[in-house]
């Protein structure tokens, strides 16, 4: 089967509309809101601060710790029961790995920088939105960072490489009557802006090596569009009057 | 062939290119990779001759020897007090650095400084692990009494103090308040309730608009209202 | 955390506050945004000064409880997110979150603000169950009152999702234009006692400087549907009488603010 036109009419390399703002949680040392289509992530950074339990402290540098949580009313179906969630824990871990390479915590031995991301509504691409929001929040908090991290999910829907899949595309068998046997692979990617080095790479689905490399190429272009939005949001607060 | 892509007082974000080529030197909060100089912070560009530096618009306080800071007593130890400095690192104030008088061994230290008291102290030592020792035994260092403590980002402290103390003097004169600014971002203000509120708002105004020029005039106008 | 406790108490005795407000004044701005989350059946975000709270309503069809076969149900859950304050840690709700949820729950439940009988679909078999989840976004004090307002606004903004008439399955992606059967609008208002004086809408510092507090939920008619005393010091019955008057008056004020946003 051939995926002829995207369900929402977007071009294959087009991202959903994005909206970003920093400083949305005044209590936090840095915070940001990042929306892509209907997926919305709010990130808040607290730290460097004292790290407990003590055995987790690193005497050489600070530790970056991430937390990810979807609000109970943020799922596309039933209410999500709050509580320990394996998916959320895994996402928190890959988030920390995605952000870690650019963050410099050498001036903060034994301390921790905590990043909390909560999502009030979701429509696929949640971990990418979380990472993009967290990157802005870390910058606003003044945590030394050599570069920004931008993240977006790319994928293969049947025979097409598409950028920024939404929920309907991820579950195309449910939404497109022609796609009962559609194959979808969903690939969240995060990159360091200047070097385009990849700090997050995961996949749901099946894909050939050539298609995967094409998808990564598509991601390389797409993350720059996310970066533009992040950069604007960070600078917006300081408009010359 | 060197090439600078920013101007004085431009706002840059982490990873933004400041200059290319070996003519320029990477100053504070910047780094060089290959032939380019990049920013390490969200901040203001500052150019001094060939040195490019970025002044962060926000960021954690890194304790330095000789800095005057304001902290809160959070614990009483065998030989003194532990002080919360509003950072990831607490400070120790030894009883012999708190007072010139002789303190007997069994004396109740909480009679000198109690948990919850705020103190203006000076940092005398910082280890590689950021363990901090402070003293209160010099003129200009004391236990805070009355007034209110407020918090600003430590990166804004130089702006709040101003060139040769000009900004802080303006605020003190116009509000009739005593104001002590700790390098760690805690500020003590004491005066009438209305004066204190006005001073607090003026300080918050400096913090918020620190990146603008003509700030002293703007704050002056605010204080006239 | 900075707490200017002594100064707060000295000022309170003179009827003053750190930010220049009167003891019975709300912070500004007070903003209410409805339908902030498209995945919730109803939702709202309330901003009270710098305190920001979100509430979302989710609905489900379940078997009614054995002792109330002709009624649906309502449940209120609250999370004090670590994102909203350095004081909160990740993990299950602690006593502050539990108290907040239960007090708001009683205010709504005891006032019968939601007619549970109208939520029944098939007695003994099927009924609508409504869950309100309250999430703190920035805790700058007075979370409970902001949360109560957000919960009510979320209920008012809620619409039943479409139910497939053949399979009985709920299609959460489509909403009907049928609203929840709300009959009353109970709102909690918390009054604190600081150095003997009564104060509303405290900042975080003021909350930590208060010796006692009383939360009172009341409806448009001034009928009280929930009470919760907190704090380690006692209250006299004279103080309680004054508090009730303030709570009823302020609930009316908050309701008028909410109504402006509903238009």
Task: Give the side-chain half-sphere CA count within 13 A for A92.
Answer: 19
pLDDT value of residue B104:
83
Residues 6+ apart with CB under 8 A from A187: A153, A154, A155, A156, A201, A202, A203, A207, A212, A215, A216, A219
**Chain B from 187 to 216: CB within 8 A of any C CB:** 193-194, 196-197, 200
pLDDT value of residue C262:
82
Tell me the domains of chain A and their CATH numbers.
18-233 (3.30.230.70)
**Boundary residue ending a domain (B128, B143, B158):** B143
**Boundary residue ending a domain (B121, B143, B165):** B143
Q: Does residue B62 belong to any structural domain of this protein?
A: no
Q: Among C33, C34, C36, C39, which would you mutate to test the A interface (most chain A Cβ atoms within 10 Å of its Cβ)?
A: C39
Q: Which chains touch C (3 or more CB pairs under 8 A)?
A: A, B
Which comes out higher in pLDDT, residue C263 or B27?
Answer: B27
A56 close contact with B: CB closer than 8 A: no
| Binary contact (A73, C57; C-beta < 8 A) | yes
Query: From CA A127, how far away is CA A66, in angstroms rounded?
Result: 12
Clarify whether residues B138 and B160 are in a common domain. Answer: no
Query: From CA C160, how far away is CA C141, in angstroms rounded?
Result: 33
Give backbone dihedrals phi and psi of C20, rounded to 5 degrees, phi first: 85, -5
Q: Among B84, B85, B148, which would you mutate to test the C interface (most chain C Cβ atoms within 10 Å of its Cβ)?
A: B148
pLDDT value of residue C17:
97
Phi-psi region of B61 (alpha: psi -120 to 50; beta: other; left: phi over 0): beta
Find, in chain C, the residue whose alpha carbon is nearest to that of A38: C38
Query: Beta strands B25-26 and B51-56: pairing type?
Result: parallel
Q: Among A31, A48, A107, A192, which would you mutate to test the B interface (most chain B Cβ atoms within 10 Å of its Cβ)?
A: A48
Number of domains forming the structure of chain C: 1
Indicate the pLDDT class of residue A161, thresholds 50, 70 and 90. Answer: very high
Using alpha carbons only, give the angle B144, B148, B149 rounded to the nearest 5 degrees: 80
Give backbone dihedrals phi and psi of A152, rounded to 5 degrees, phi first: -155, 155
Paired tokens of C17: 């506050």
Clarify whether residues B131 and B171 are in a common domain. Answer: no
Find, in chain C, the residue whose alpha carbon is nearest to that of A167: C173
Name which of B40, B130, B153 is nearest A144 (Cβ-Cβ). Answer: B40
Indicate the pLDDT class of residue A2, thresholds 50, 70 and 90. Answer: low
Q: Does residue B61 belong to any structural domain of this protein?
A: no
Indicate the pLDDT class of residue A172, thresholds 50, 70 and 90. Answer: confident
- Furthest-apart CA atoms within chain B: distance in Å: 71
Beta bridge partners of B154: none
Query: Beta strands B90-94 and B80-84: pairing type?
Result: antiparallel
Q: Which chains touch A (3 or more CB pairs under 8 A)?
A: B, C
Would you say residue C91 has pLDDT above 80? yes
Name the minimum distance, in Å, from the CA of B201 to any CA of chain A: 16
Would you say residue B80 has pLDDT above 80? yes
Would you say residue A1 has pLDDT above 60? no
Query: From CA B175, how far away is CA C209, in angstroms rounded?
Result: 26
C233-257 average pLDDT score: 97
The three-state DSSP-derived secondary structure of chain A is CCCCCCCCCCCCCCCCCEEEEECCCCCCCEEEEEEECCEEEEEEEEEEEECCCHHHCCCCCCEEEEEEEECCCCCCCCCCCCCCCHHHHHHHHHHHHHHHHHECCCCCCCEEEEEEEEEEECCCCHHHHHHHHHHHHHHHCCCCECCCEEEEEEEEECCEEEECCCHHHHCHHHHCHHHCCCCEEEEEEEEECCCCCEEEECCECCCCHHHHHHHHHHHHHHHHHHHHHHHHHHHHCCCCC
Q: Is the peptide bond before A48 cis (omega within 30 degrees of 0)?
A: yes
A57-61 average pLDDT score: 94
Name which of A102, A144, A193 is nearest B41 (Cβ-Cβ). Answer: A144
A74-96 average pLDDT score: 95
| Binary contact (B146, C19; C-beta < 8 A) | no
- Furthest-apart CA atoms within chain C: distance in Å: 67
Query: From CA A117, how far away is CA C208, in angstroms rounded?
Result: 27
Beta bridge partners of B115: none
Would you say residue C246 has pLDDT above 90? yes
B23-47 average pLDDT score: 95
| Binary contact (A27, C40; C-beta < 8 A) | no
Residues of chain A contacting residue C57, judged by C-beta atoms under 8 Å apart:
73
Q: Does residue B63 belong to any structural domain of this protein?
A: no
Name which of C4, C14, C20 is nearest B148 (Cβ-Cβ). Answer: C4
Per the structure, the complete domain to which residue C158 belongs is given by 5-262
pLDDT value of residue A177:
65
Indicate the pLDDT class of residue C263, thresholds 50, 70 and 90. Answer: low
Contact B168, B206 (CB under 8 A): no
Name the minimum distance, in Å, from the CA of A49 to any CA of chain C: 10
**Boundary residue ending a domain (B143, B174, B198):** B143
Query: From CA A206, how far away is CA B118, in angstroms rounded?
Result: 61
pLDDT value of residue A162:
96
Number of domains forming the structure of chain B: 3
pLDDT of C178-224, one tens digit each? 999 999 999 999 999 999 999 999 999 999 999 999 999 999 999 99
Contact C216, C248 (CB under 8 A): yes
Residues of chain A contacting residue C43, judged by C-beta atoms under 8 Å apart:
73, 120
Clarify whether residues B202 and B178 are in a common domain. Answer: yes
Query: From CA B167, how far away is CA C16, in angstroms rounded?
Result: 28
User: What is the percent of chain B with per-residue pLDDT over 70, rounded to a whole number?
Assistant: 100
Kindly tell me the burial class for residue A169, based on how many C-beta atoms sit within 10 Å of its own C-beta (0-12, 13-18, 19 or more): buried
Would you say residue C25 has pLDDT above 60? yes
CB atoms within 10 A of CB B217: 10
Name which of B11, B43, B58 is nearest A30 (Cβ-Cβ). Answer: B58
pLDDT value of residue A241:
61
Would you say residue A178 has pLDDT above 80? no
The domain that holds B23 is classified in CATH as 2.40.50.100
Name the minimum distance, in Å, from the CA of B48 to any CA of chain C: 38
Indicate the pLDDT class of residue A158, thresholds 50, 70 and 90. Answer: confident
Sign of the alpha-carbon torsion through B41, C86, C9, C241 = positive
Find, in chain A, the residue whose alpha carbon is nearest to that of C140: A27
pLDDT of A197-239, one tens digit each? 999 999 999 999 999 999 999 999 999 999 999 999 999 988 7
pLDDT value of residue B91:
97
Per the structure, the complete domain to which residue B207 belongs is given by 148-224
H-run or E-run covering B173: helix B166-175
pLDDT value of residue A240:
67
Name the minimum distance, in Å, from the CA of A40 to any CA of chain C: 9
Name which of A51, A107, A139 is nearest B42 (Cβ-Cβ). Answer: A139
pLDDT value of residue C130:
97
CA–CA distances in Å: residue C125 to residues A77, B74, C72, C156, C163 = 22, 58, 10, 26, 16
pLDDT value of residue B225:
86
The domain that holds C55 is classified in CATH as 3.30.230.70
Indicate the pLDDT class of residue B178, thresholds 50, 70 and 90. Answer: very high
Indicate the pLDDT class of residue A159, thresholds 50, 70 and 90. Answer: confident
pLDDT value of residue C219:
95
pLDDT value of residue A24:
97
B-C CB pairs within 8 A amount to 25
Find, in chain B, the residue whose alpha carbon is nearest to that of C12: B193
User: What is the percent of chain C with per-residue pLDDT over 70, rounded to a whole number?
Assistant: 100
């Amino acid at each position: 089967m051939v995926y002829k036109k995207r369900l929402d009419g977007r071009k294959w390399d087009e991202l959903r509309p994005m909206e970003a703002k920093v400083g949305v949680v005044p209590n936090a040392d840095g915070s940001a809101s990042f929306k892509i289509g209907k997926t919305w992530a709010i990130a808040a950074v607290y730290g460097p601060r004292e790290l407990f339990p003590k055995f987790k402290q690193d005497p050489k540098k600070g530790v970056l710790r991430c937390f990810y949580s979807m609000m109970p009313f943020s799922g596309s179906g039933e209410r999500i029961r709050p509580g320990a969630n394996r998916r959320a824990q895994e996402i928190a871990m890959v988030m920390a790995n995605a952000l870690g390479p650019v963050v410099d915590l050498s001036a903060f031995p034994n301390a921790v920088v905590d990043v909390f991301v909560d999502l009030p509504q979701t429509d696929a691409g949640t971990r990418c939105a979380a990472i993009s929001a967290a990157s802005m929040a870390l910058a606003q908090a003044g945590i030394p960072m050599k570069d920004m991290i931008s993240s977006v999910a790319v994928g293969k829907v049947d025979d097409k490489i598409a950028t920024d899949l939404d929920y309907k595309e991820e579950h195309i068998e449910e939404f497109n009557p022609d796609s009962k046997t559609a194959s979808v692979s969903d690939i969240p990617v995060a990159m360091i802006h200047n070097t385009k080095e990849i700090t997050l790479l995961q996949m749901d689905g099946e894909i050939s090596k050539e298609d995967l490399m094409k998808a990564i190429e598509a991601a390389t272009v797409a993350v720059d569009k996310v970066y533009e939005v992040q950069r604007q949001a960070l600078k917006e607060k300081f408009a010359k009057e | 062939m060197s090439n600078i892509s920013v101007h004085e007082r431009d706002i840059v974000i982490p990873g933004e290119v400041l200059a290319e080529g070996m003519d320029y030197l990477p100053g504070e909060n910047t780094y060089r990779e290959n032939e380019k100089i990049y920013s390490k912070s969200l901040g203001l560009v500052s150019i001094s001759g060939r040195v490019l530096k970025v002044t962060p618009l926000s960021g954690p306080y890194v304790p330095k020897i000789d800095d005057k800071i304001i902290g809160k007593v959070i614990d009483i130890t065998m030989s003194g007090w532990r002080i919360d400095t509003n950072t990831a690192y607490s400070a120790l104030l030894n009883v012999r650095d708190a007072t010139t008088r002789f303190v007997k061994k069994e004396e109740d230290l909480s009679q000198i400084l109690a948990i919850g008291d705020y103190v203006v102290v000076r940092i005398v030592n910082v280890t590689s692990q950021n363990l901090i020792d402070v003293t209160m035994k010099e003129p200009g260092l004391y236990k805070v009494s009355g007034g209110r403590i407020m918090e600003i980002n430590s990166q804004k402290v130089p702006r709040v103090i101003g060139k040769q103390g000009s900004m802080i003097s303006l605020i003190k004169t116009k509000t009739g308040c005593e104001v002590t600014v700790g390098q760690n971002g805690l500020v003590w203000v004491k005066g009438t309730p209305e004066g204190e509120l006005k001073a607090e708002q003026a300080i918050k105004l400096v913090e918020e608009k620190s990146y603008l020029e003509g700030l002293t005039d703007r704050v002056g106008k605010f204080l006239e209202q | 955390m900075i707490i200017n406790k002594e100064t707060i108490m000295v000022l309170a005795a003179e009827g003053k506050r750190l930010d220049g407000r009167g003891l019975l004044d709300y912070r500004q701005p007070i903003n209410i945004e409805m339908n902030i989350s498209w995945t919730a059946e109803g939702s709202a975000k309330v901003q009270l000064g710098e305190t920001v709270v979100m509430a979302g309503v989710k609905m489900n069809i379940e078997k009614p409880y054995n002792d109330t076969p002709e009624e649906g149900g309502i449940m209120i859950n609250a999370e004090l997110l670590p994102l909203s304050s350095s004081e909160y840690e990740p993990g299950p709700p602690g006593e502050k979150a539990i108290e907040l949820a239960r007090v708001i729950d009683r205010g709504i439940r005891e006032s019968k603000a939601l007619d549970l009988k109208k939520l029944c679909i098939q007695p003994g078999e099927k009924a609508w169950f409504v869950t309100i989840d309250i999430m703190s976004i920035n805790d700058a004090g007075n979370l409970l009152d902001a949360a109560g307002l957000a919960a009510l606004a979320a209920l008012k903004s809620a619409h039943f999702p479409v139910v497939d008439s053949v399979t009985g399955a709920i299609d959460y992606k489509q909403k009907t234009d049928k609203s929840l059967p709300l009959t009353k609008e109970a709102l909690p208002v918390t009054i604190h006692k600081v150095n003997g004086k009564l104060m509303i809408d405290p900042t975080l510092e003021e909350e930590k400087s208060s010796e006692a507090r009383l939360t009172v939920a009341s409806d448009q008619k001034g009928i009280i549907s929930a009470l919760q005393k907190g704090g380690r010091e006692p209250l006299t019955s004279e103080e309680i009488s004054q508090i009730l008057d303030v709570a009823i008056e302020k609930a009316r004020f908050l309701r008028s603010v909410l109504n402006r946003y509903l238009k």
